[in-house]
Amino acid sequence: VDARDAGSAWQLWHDAWMDALFGDAGFFRRPEGPAGHFRTAAHAAPDVLAQALLRLAGEHGRTGIIDVGAGRGELLNALQVAARDTGTPLALHGVEIVERPDGLAPEIGWWQSLDDLSPETLTGALVIAWEMLDTVPCIILEHDDTGVPRLVEVERHSGRERLVPMEDHVDLSFDAILWLVPNWPVDNDPGRRIEVGGPRDEVWRQLVVAAAAGRDVVLLCVDYAHDQESRPPNGSLAGYRGGRLVPPVPDGTCDITAHVAIDSVAGAGEAAGAKTLMLTTQREALRALGVTGRQVPGAPVTAASLERMSREAELIDPHGLGSFAWLLQKV
Ligand SMILES: C[S@@+](CC[C@H](N)C(=O)[O-])C[C@H]1O[C@@H](n2cnc3c(N)ncnc32)[C@H](O)[C@@H]1O
């Protein structure tokens, strides 16, 4: 599409994405919530995940868990049941952009802004951002036919794209270049896409800074991710609606998501004062927490044990959820 096309609904991808997910009529404000459109580990096997996270919390001596980007509280409800059943005293809180969901257990606290996190609640807590950073909008660049990087604009209602010169948005382009030089291998191939992860780093930095208002806080980020060795040359932007992968159209009817540059996020946390305790795959992290996808030796094989095994296997599948990154940091 010609960059001088006189369309009225063209926006930079970052801005259109932000509005489509978090604006007044944004996708994540829809009543059905994320679970109505895609399946995260918290939907696939909440009980297995809750037990593993309780173990992680125990290993790090945590007194509470704060789930940031908590969806409709699916993981928190499972954590509440697991904590009750094992007699584990654990304060549970969620942070989301929507009001407290109806089905949330009364013991669980709920906030609508990170600013509401108090130092007392943060102290000793495990702060979790589960599949949250992939929804934070990136700035998107694409190399034109001559190999020159341009900003990508999108037409809100069709998803059509066009390239505009970086000079048209000087400040944003400056931020994008500052991020991509150390983080994304640059070549001159026409058509190459770059998903600038600076806004994700900034959200993580803010979480670390907020956490530092308390004492002894551990933060866990879990997401589909890439690092210097595995950046996607054509980007990873995708849409999800009603359980299906769909073209990413920023009209508020589908999720818009892209993989997370997890090494850069880790660096942003460290620059804000956090120490990295672990950066590994979900498969390795969950196996270390006792999620093996195997029958417990000596235990009887029952329909329930087989069903649990299959859900454990889904969480640690090396080609699926098991390939997600787990970043654990401490402040
Ligand atoms: C992909 S969903 C994942 C939900 C849940 N964690 C799960 O794994 O099922 C991402 C969620 O993060 C929330 N989110 C994104 N940025 C947020 C922010 N700054 N504060 C609170 N919630 C946020 C969105 O509203 C959305 O519900």
pLDDT digits (tens, 9 = 90+) for 225-256: 999 999 998 999 999 998 899 999 999 999 99
Q: Say how many CA atoms lie within 13 Å of 21 toward its Cβ.
A: 24
Measured from the Cα of 114, ligand 1's closest atom is: 20
Residue 182's SS3 state is: helix
Share of the chain above pLDDT 70, in %: 98
pLDDT at site 24: 93
pLDDT at site 83: 96
**Centroid of ligand 1 to alpha carbon of 21 (angstroms):** 10
pLDDT at site 36: 81
Q: What is the mean pLDDT of residues 151-176?
A: 94
Q: What is the mean pLDDT of residues 187-212?
A: 94
Burial class (CB in 10 A: 0-12, 13-18, 19+), 83: buried
Burial class (CB in 10 A: 0-12, 13-18, 19+), 218: buried
Ligand 1 within 6 A of 130 CB?
yes
What is the per-residue pLDDT across 252-276, written as a single tens digit (0 to 9) for each?
Answer: 999 999 999 999 999 999 999 999 9
Whose structure tokens read 């407290």? 100
Mean pLDDT of the residues in the chain: 93
Q: What is the mean pLDDT of residues 284-310?
A: 90
What is the per-residue pLDDT across 96-106, written as a single tens digit (0 to 9) for each?
Answer: 999 999 999 99
Separation of alpha carbons 259 and 324, rounded Å: 10
Question: Is 60 exceeded by the pLDDT of residue 4?
Answer: no
Q: What is the mean pLDDT of residues 4-11?
A: 65
Residue in 132, 208, 260 to alter for ligand 1 test, most ligand atoms within 8 A of Cβ: 132
- Higher pLDDT residue, 264 or 304? 264
Phi, psi values for residue 98, rounded to 5°: -105, 170
Protein residue with least CA distance to atom 3, ligand 1: 131
Ligand 1 within 6 A of 261 CB?
no
Q: In 10 A of CB 77, how many CB atoms? A: 21
Protein residue with least CA distance to atom 17, ligand 1: 69
Find the distance separating the first CA and the last CA of the chain, reported in whole Å: 47
Q: What is the mean pLDDT of residues 310-331?
A: 96
Are 52 and 311 within 8 A, CB to CB? no
What is the per-residue pLDDT across 59-76, written as a single tens digit (0 to 9) for each?
Answer: 999 999 999 999 999 999
Q: What is the mean pLDDT of residues 72-92?
A: 95
Ligand 1 within 6 A of 282 CB?
no
Question: Is 90 exceeded by the pLDDT of residue 299?
Answer: no
Output the six-digit token pair for 281: 């795959």
Ligand 1 within 6 A of 101 CB?
no
Separation of alpha carbons 194 and 231, rounded Å: 9
Separation of alpha carbons 60 and 271, rounded Å: 22
pLDDT at site 2: 43
Protein residue with least CA distance to atom 24, ligand 1: 69
Residue in 135, 136, 202 to alter for ligand 1 test, most ligand atoms within 8 A of Cβ: 135
**Centroid of ligand 1 to alpha carbon of 71 (angstroms):** 6
